[in-house]
Amino acid sequence: MSGSRRTVQGMAVNIGMVTFDTTDPRRLAEFWRAALDTKVEIDAEGYFISLEPVGDGPALGFQKVTDPTPGKNRVHLDVSGGRPEVERLAGLGATVVGDQEVPGFSWTVMADPDGNQFCVGHGVS
């Protein structure tokens, strides 16, 4: 369905934002702002911050919570860029969790400064 939207009872449905719960929205938003080379769109006094979407993708939001969900995150972001991006993101404060490979594709699992895991694809091999 490339280039088209599914409709539900006559309404177009799309993902407008992916939101992270965090105890420090500014710190986490700054990491992802630099990682994605985008700008802050909304800053509601540090309680909620959203970044401008990159390309046709969804915006990222960061909302202040007193106690983030423990354990492994159930949703994660996949970004492209290969091994050079792994080094750049580590320099911004991400940590490498490990490398993964399946036939024809490899990626690095990383964690942002709050410990949210995300993957950096190395492309088709």
* 8 falls within a domain: no
How confident is the model over 86-125, as pLDDT tens digits? 999 999 999 999 999 988 889 999 999 999 999 999 876 6
What is the model's pTM? 0.78
Residues 61 and 80 in one domain: no
Residues 20 and 57 in one domain: yes
Residues 62 and 23 in one domain: yes
Quickly count: other Cβ atoms within 10 Å of residue 118's Cβ: 20
Residue whose token pair is 């983030």? 68
Q: Which domain holds residue 54?
A: 15-66
In the chain, the number of structural domains is 2
Residues 54 and 91 in one domain: no
Sheet with 117-124, edge to edge strand ranges: 77-79, 117-124, 105-111, 95-102
How confident is the model over 12-61, as pLDDT tens digits? 667 789 999 999 999 999 999 999 999 999 999 989 999 999 998 999 99
